[in-house]
Structure 1
């Protein structure tokens, strides 16, 4: 199969090695052109060149003796434009690095929200005395003395309510806790 490129000899006497060198030169020129269109995106440029060569191979017989280089450059440019347009229509793809970065900012709070809901439901299942004791010590961050004084109960009674309240909460939350 011999393709005639613009600027190539295309002579019937050309050896197979000369044709191969000419084809490589043309493909490198096409790749360079596509790289400029894509502002240096090498992986995407290789895909475009590959698709262009595939289309060239498929339509080889229907092109006729017209020079191939301008046709290939036009096909490559059209593919770049088509890909650009299709990317604008689709939502932007997010790479793995960006997802890890978002996780490091703590933007994914779904686990915390679920845990909060489960803990609230667990606290609702406790008796009022146990719930008040846990609330004063853990949620209002009070010392045992301050919490006992606020609730109007002895410190030992508060310790007992906290102990049994935590045990009951643990029994309720054990099957539902999301980590």
Structure 2
């Protein structure tokens, strides 16, 4: 888990706790790409991923006190919720698929601790693979996926045309996919 939340996290959290809808909108705008991307990677279904994104932000709006900025960042907390919901969806779909096929021998489901260990290991491998990318690709991917920037925001920060940033991200993701597939991540 990430370290304590930033001052910005704390301020946004306080505003959401106070019922400020514009604060939730700011959180949504900043972290939507991250939450959607994570849900899509797990479910491989945009429609399902968008439903998960909605659930994540509704959960934060309805129960903002569940987030504790002293324990981690808002980004990490929302990503964790999105990942859990996406994994739950995939598992439910798999159970339905297996039930439709009929009883078979299946492997026991991993425990939450096993899930956490596997997710942490996978995240470390992905971070290492990202660090090996050429600088311009790595920088664009880090802005989009680790800092939750949109293509347009990343382009402004990098001082580049939006199309260039999109291309760098697309090429970088392709390289990452190839490298991670070789390592079975």
Verify same fold: TM over 0.5.
Answer: no
* Higher relative contact order structure (alpha carbons within 8 Å, sequence separation ≥ 6): 2
Q: Provide TM-score, normalisation by structure 1.
A: 0.40
Normalized per residue, the structure richer in helix is 2
